[in-house]
Amino acid sequence: MNTAKDDRYFCQRILSEIGEKGQRRLAGASVLVAGCGALGSNNAETIARAGIGRITLVDHDRVELSNLQRQVLMTEDDVGRPKAKVMAELLGKINSQIEIGYEITRVDKENVERLVRNVDLVLDGFDNLPSRYLLNDACVKHTIPWVFATVAGTYGITMPILPGQGPCLRCLLPNPAPEEVVLTARNAGLINTIARAITAIQTTQAMRILLGSPDYPVKLVTYDIWQASFSAQEILRNEDCLCCCQGRYEFLN
């Protein structure tokens, strides 16, 4: 029997919430990380270290020097290189026991259904709402759970989306807000600790979903890390939702 010293997942195996069976389940899971910025890079590192068996990274962007303040798995030597490729290379060194794939492409209505169709879960690493509405349509249509998250300033929010069981993104935000009023890292700044904090919650939600934890509560978690203000509010499904109740996937069309 392996000892704690030579068992990579020892601390998870002895955790009652995961255990031996749960670790095997994580090893058999496939996750898409959509976007490789502050959220996606932290997500990818965490699930790779946790032993998620297959991880696919998708992003069209290249590393910029300003990214290094908040995005992990990148160094100064990587400036100018594709983010998804850089992250995949380092994740392979962090955990050689798992499968890492990547695509250097922008997620759009032409490819999003293909990207989500064959995975068990999607982690939101986007930095804009239009891409999230597109992802929501695709995941709801194909019954793929995903975990929404966003950060700006010192503030972050996250919520699991479980198609067929609970509310979707359009239950929470029925229509896109005007782009000029949406807070982002580019117009509001970003403290790097909120990205780590909110992805810690986001990836925990993801692992719990993958483990099949019963009666998973669909809660919108909000956290202002500067003010030490935290809340978790239960969100109910909107029975008039155009997406998850009426099956109208407007952003895919």
The partner residues of 206 in beta bridges, in order of sequence, read none
16-46 burial code (b ≥16 CB/10 A, e <16): eebeeebbebbeebbbbbbbbbbbbbbbbbb
Upper half-sphere CA count for residue 164 (Cβ side, 13 Å): 6
Tell me the C-alpha distance between 227 and 124, whole Å. 25
Report how far Cα 223 is from the mean position of its chain's Cα atoms.
17
Q: What is the structure's pLDDT at 180?
A: 67
Tell me the C-alpha distance between 57 and 85, whole Å. 8
Upper half-sphere CA count for residue 206 (Cβ side, 13 Å): 34
Q: Which two tokens stand for residue 95?
A: 């955990």
Q: What is the structure's pLDDT at 215?
A: 67
Taking alpha carbons only, the member of 207, 204, 212 closest to residue 232 is 204
83-103 pLDDT, tens digit per residue, is 999 999 999 999 999 999 999
Distances (CA, A) of 179 to 129, 183, 217: 8, 9, 30
Q: What percent of the chain has pLDDT over 90?
A: 89
Taking alpha carbons only, the member of 98, 93, 107, 92 closest to residue 36 is 107
Tell me the C-alpha distance between 62 and 206, whole Å. 26
**Angle at alpha carbon of residue 162, lines to 159 and 173, rounded to 5°:** 50
Supply the angle between the helices 83-94 and 38-50 in degrees, to the nearest 10.
20
Enumerate helices (H) and strands (E) in the chain, giving the number of each.
Answer: 9, 8
Q: What is the structure's pLDDT at 185?
A: 78
Taking alpha carbons only, the member of 6, 149, 119, 140 closest to residue 58 is 119
Give, for all 253 residues of the chain, the pLDDT tens digit. 556 778 999 999 999 999 999 999 999 999 999 999 999 999 999 999 999 999 999 999 999 999 999 999 999 999 999 999 999 999 999 999 999 999 999 999 999 999 999 999 999 999 999 999 999 999 999 999 999 999 999 999 999 999 999 999 999 999 887 776 677 777 889 999 999 999 999 999 999 999 997 666 789 999 999 999 999 999 999 999 999 999 999 999 8
Question: What's the per-residue H, E or C state across 200-220?
Answer: HHHHHHHHHHHCCCCCCCCEE
Q: What is the structure's pLDDT at 172?
A: 93
Provide the whole-model pTM: 0.95
Q: What is the structure's pLDDT at 4?
A: 73
Distances (CA, A) of 100 to 53, 93, 97, 105, 187: 8, 10, 10, 16, 33
Domains, the chain: 10-234 (3.40.50.720)
